[in-house]
Amino acid sequence: MKALVVGGSGGIGLAVIKQLLHLKPHSQIHATYFRHQPDYHPPQLHWHQIDITVETDIAKLAAQLIQLDIVINAVGMLHTAEHLPEKSIQHFDVDFFQTNIQTNTLPTLLLAKHFMLPLKASRRSYFVTVSAKVGSIEDNKLGGWISYRSSKAALNMAIKTISIEWRTKLPHCCVLAFHPGTTASSLSKPFQRNVALHKLFTPEYTAQCLLNLLATLTPQNTGKFLSYDGSTIPW
């Protein structure tokens, strides 16, 4: 099995890599980091340093990978050193909005563009992006977090659109958006105290949920937005 985990240095991404190697020890895994390379170097794992918002970085990586069975994008941001997500439209900031779009939306579009051929070369493949339930327009009852929500809603539209195009071009590929639930990582850190302990998942649990789910899915399930428990989230 050949996999690419984008954002392999993140809480969820690194746990996905470890779980993949646990389930399929003979896998070849390529993983990316941006600012922090994890000190984790099993022989089946190949690290690549890339800025996922830069198209030439992605194109260079894609040129090295001829065939992939799984691409999982676990890159994302919710806050920066200067900004927490907005509680009100009065806190809206153009640069913060653009950083959300660049980090949460753009990478999946670039990955789909450049990794279509390696995914096509596999007999059955999965193209999965870690999204967030707060990106569901229908599920939005609370408001707030307008830049993050908008970037994930745009991401969801991108995933749905790619899944429709690939039904004919890559009929063996299952394209999915995945909601991980609240998972203990640096992304969720400022908000963890508001979450009941049993609802704050370890990255290991979230990775198990994702990979157990993938094991049950076929290309017939393409174009879905699925939660960690396997339920379907309305777009």
Ligand X SMILES: NC(=O)c1ccc[n+]([C@@H]2O[C@H](COP(=O)([O-])OP(=O)(O)OC[C@H]3O[C@@H](n4cnc5c(N)ncnc54)[C@H](OP(=O)(O)O)[C@@H]3O)[C@@H](O)[C@H]2O)c1
Please give the residue ranges that form the binding site for ligand X (CB under 6 A). Answer: 7, 9-13, 33-36, 51-53, 74-77, 103, 130, 132, 180, 182-183, 185-188
Residue 201 Cβ vs ligand X, minimum distance, rounded to whole Å: 8
Distance CA 175, CA 120 (A): 12
Phi/psi at 161 (5° precision): -65, -40
Angle at 98 (CA atoms; ends 72, 95), nearest 5 degrees: 140
CB-nearer residue toward ligand X: 106 or 173: 106
Judged by DSSP in three states, 219 sits in helix
182/222 with CB nearer ligand X: 182
Residue closer to ligand X (CB basis): 119 or 233? 233
**Minimal distance, residue 215 CB to ligand X, in Å:** 20
Q: Cβ closer to ligand X: 60 or 169? A: 60
The residues, any chain, with a CB within 8 Å of residue 229's CB and separated by 6 or more, are 181, 209
Q: CB of 197: closest distance to ligand X in angstroms?
A: 14
The C-alpha atoms of residue 217 and residue 20 are separated, in whole angstroms, by 16
Contact criterion met (CB below 8 Å) for 36 and 9: yes
Reduced to 3 states (helix: H, G, I; strand: E, B; else coil), residue 181 is coil
**What's the min distance (Å) between Cβ of 13 and ligand X?**
5
CB–CB of 232/177 below 8 Å?
A: no
Beta bridge partners of residue 125, listed in sequence order: 173
Q: How far is the CB of 155 from ligand X (least distance, A)?
A: 8
Closer of 9 and 163 to ligand X (Cβ): 9
